[in-house]
């Protein structure tokens, strides 16, 4: 029996060692980005995807056809259904689409959370087509897909889109879901209790991001031209709502209400927003869409400084799961005519790609126990930055940080906490592995059985090359 347990542990350690070797290969892929040529321009194939708006049936057909045509680069799954029963499709684009590879970060884009803002919906369909058609010919795209797992949800609000009208630049028709809820006001909030009833679409997204540890995310909107970053809400929002009852009072408190609400990672969020804005054809100029609307310096803004809101998706991603999400307003007109879509693609192509590459900036690594086994749900916090993050069930962690000296605090139940110093450089991500020692109480009271709770189970579903399956269901056709 002792020999069998010893052999079992050795097999698991060897298996995880293979995963770690491959993870290092993935992480070191960040070194290559600076040496790669810029992504090539996209040459659309109108037979596969034209610059027109696609209804839900057409969108579904395109995603299914692409998944069938590129089975080694794509995987299609639904995270749930809308209020009216439409699938919330997600397309994964990666060289390892069906499984999570240990050490390879997951990133995402979400489009069309407001149904009458569909430019992002179409941009994400073209981004999928661009990736799959460029993988074998474009070095940058190949590097990105080899080292990143990209999840794309083209429409979070298909019901709202179904009742929206092309050519409508303003107004609220189609903005909300079929029950009349604004989905970008429907998430739990950091500053204020959100009593709005949860909707099928937001519940599906919450479940989705609880299963997959996303490192970086962008939410695509319309109606302005700016990259907006957390926080969207402010500690003063409740007070202002009670005070601002008339236009005169609102004007009096306008400056007060529009104060920035900055996260502990404000430097990172500003950087991510600038990456998008500066690679965009127009955004960084900070030009106002209309004379009555604000201009944004360098094309970026803190969300609350623009206007505070409760229940936003980007704050929820960041505070609850440590995912760095920003909101991308990419069209002055919410629902512009279809003939303008090609221009919007040309404006956003480079930004959409370069933004995702930022997942390879900062620190990445693993938390182990003394036997070299991964510790699941270890908590990490960069000193001076109060919003923490956790390891995956394979002990992985990621945090986007700018160059500098940092100290990370690592905690896990049953283990002595530890502080580790590290350095971030510009050229490549820092690989940091942390080993925690059992606490004295833990060592004295917990039997050897507890060690196995931190190992990768030999029954875990596996794919090729050390990949492990997510808890998502892929369609069979």
pLDDT digits (tens, 9 = 90+) for 68-79: 999 999 999 999
Question: Does residue 69 lie within any of the structural domains?
Answer: yes
Diameter over CA atoms, the chain: 80
CATH number for the domain that contains residue 294: 3.40.630.10
Mark whether 303 and 375 lie in a shared domain: no
Nearest to 213 by CA among 359, 421, 418: 359
Do residues 69 and 172 share a domain? Answer: yes
User: Domain end: 314, 340, 360, which one?
Assistant: 360
In a domain, 216, yes or no: yes
pLDDT at residue 41 in the model: 83
- DSSP lists the bridge partners of residue 327 as 219, 228
Total residues belonging to the chain: 477
**In this structure, are residues 348 and 283 in contact, taking their beta carbons and an 8 Å threshold?**
no
Report how far residue 257's alpha carbon sits from residue 305's, in angstroms, rounded to the nearest whole number: 8
CA distance 456 to 374: 8
Residue 415 sits in the same domain as residue 269: no
Number of C-beta neighbours around residue 465 at 10 A: 13
Query: CA-to-CA distance for 172 and 185, rounded, in angstroms?
Result: 14
The pLDDT score that the predictor gives to residue 134 is 95
Q: pLDDT tens, 281-328?
A: 999 999 889 887 888 999 999 999 999 999 999 999 999 999 999 999
Residues 314 and 415 in one domain: no
Q: How many domains does the chain have?
A: 2
Residue appearing with tokens 């390892």: 96
Chain mean pLDDT for the chain: 86
Q: Are 106 and 212 within 8 A, CB to CB?
A: yes
pLDDT higher than threshold 50 for residue 398: yes
> Exposed, middle or buried: residue 240 (CB in 10 Å: 0-12, 13-18, 19+)?
middle
Pair (371, 334) in one structural domain: no
Token pair recorded at residue 5? 């347990």
Domain-embedded: residue 476: no
* 102 and 144 co-located in one domain: yes
Q: What is the pLDDT of residue 47?
A: 79
Q: Do 239 and 263 fall within a single domain?
A: yes
Q: Which residues are catalytic?
A: 329
Q: What is the pLDDT of residue 257?
A: 53
Residue 475 lies in a domain: no
Please give the DSSP secondary-structure letter assigned to residue 39: P
pTM as predicted: 0.86
pLDDT mean over 456-471 = 36
**Inter-residue contact 271 to 402 (CB < 8 Å):** yes
Domain end marker among 360, 389, 417: 360
* Containing structural domain, residue 168: 37-360
CATH value at residue 391: 2.60.40.1120
The answer to whether residue 46 is domain-embedded is: yes
- Claim to verify: residue 336 and residue 399 sit in the same structural domain: no
Distance CA 95, CA 97 (A): 6
| β-pair type (106-111, 87-93) | unpaired
Where among 341, 360, 379 does a domain terminate? 360
Is 241 found in the same domain as 180? yes
If you average pLDDT over residues 150-164, what whole number do you get?
98
The pLDDT of 142-169, averaged and rounded, is 97
Residues 410 and 308 in one domain: no
For residues 318 and 120, what is the distance between their CA atoms, to the nearest angstrom? 21
> Is residue 477 situated within a structural domain?
no
Assess if residue 73 is contained within a domain.
Answer: yes
443 by DSSP, 3-state: which? helix
Residue 474 lies in a domain: no
pLDDT digits (tens, 9 = 90+) for 399-436: 999 999 999 999 999 999 999 999 999 989 999 999 99
pLDDT confidence of 475, banded at 50, 70, 90?
A: low
Query: Do 416 and 277 lie in a common domain?
Result: no
Per-residue pLDDT, 441: 64
The verdict on 141 and 245 lying in the same domain is yes
């Amino acid at each position: 029996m002792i020999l069998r347990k010893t052999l079992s542990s050795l097999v698991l350690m060897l298996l995880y060692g293979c995963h770690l070797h491959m993870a290092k290969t993935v992480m070191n892929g960040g070194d290559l980005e600076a040496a790669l040529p810029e992504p090539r321009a996209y040459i659309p194939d109108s037979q596969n995807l034209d610059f027109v708006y696609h209804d839900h049936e057409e969108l579904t057909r395109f995603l299914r056809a692409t998944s069938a045509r590129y089975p080694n680069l794509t995987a299609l799954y639904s995270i749930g259904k809308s209020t009216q029963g439409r699938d919330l499709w997600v397309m994964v684009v990666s060289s390892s689409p069906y499984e999570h590879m240990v050490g390879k970060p997951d990133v995402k884009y979400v489009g069309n959370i407001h149904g009458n803002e569909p430019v992002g919906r179409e941009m994400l369909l073209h981004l999928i087509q661009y990736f799959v058609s460029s993988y074998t010919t474009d070095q940058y795209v190949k590097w990105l897909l080899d080292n990143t797992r990209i999840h794309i949800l083209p429409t979070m609000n298909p019901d709202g889109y179904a009742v929206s009208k092309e050519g409508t630049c303003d107004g609220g028709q189609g903005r909300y879901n079929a029950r009349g809820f604004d989905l970008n006001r429907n998430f739990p909030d950091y500053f204020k209790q959100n009593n709005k009833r949860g909707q099928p679409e937001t519940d599906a997204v919450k479940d989705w991001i609880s299963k997959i540890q996303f490192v970086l995310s962008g939410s695509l909107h319309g109606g302005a031209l700016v990259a907006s970053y957390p926080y969207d809400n402010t500690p003063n929002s409740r007070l202002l709502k009670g005070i601002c009852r008339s236009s005169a009072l609102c004007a009096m408190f306008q400056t007060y209400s529009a104060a920035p609400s900055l996260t502990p990672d404000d430097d990172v969020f500003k950087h991510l927003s600038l990456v998008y804005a500066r690679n965009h054809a127009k955004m960084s100029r900070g030009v106002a869409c209309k004379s009555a609307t604000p201009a944004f310096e360098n094309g970026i803004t803190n969300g609350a400084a623009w206007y505070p809101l409760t229940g936003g998706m980007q704050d929820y991603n960041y505070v609850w799961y440590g995912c760095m999400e920003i909101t991308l307003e990419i069209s002055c007109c919410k629902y512009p005519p279809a003939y303008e879509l090609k221009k919007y693609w040309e404006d956003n192509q480079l930004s959409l790609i370069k933004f995702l590459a930022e997942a390879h900036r900062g620190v990445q690594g693993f938390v182990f126990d003394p036997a070299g086994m991964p510790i699941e749900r270890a908590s990490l916090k960069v000193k001076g930055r109060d919003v923490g993050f956790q390891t995956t069930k394979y002990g992985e962690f990621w945090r986007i940080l700018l160059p500098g000296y940092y100290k990370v605090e690592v905690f896990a139940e049953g283990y002595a906490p530890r502080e580790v110093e590290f350095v971030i450089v510009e050229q490549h991500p820092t690989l940091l592995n942390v080993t925690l020692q059992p606490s004295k109480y833990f060592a004295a009271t917990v039997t050897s059985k507890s060690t196995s709770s931190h190992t990768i189970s030999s029954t875990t579903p596996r794919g090729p090359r050390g990949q492990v399956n997510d808890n998502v269901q892929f369609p069979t056709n």
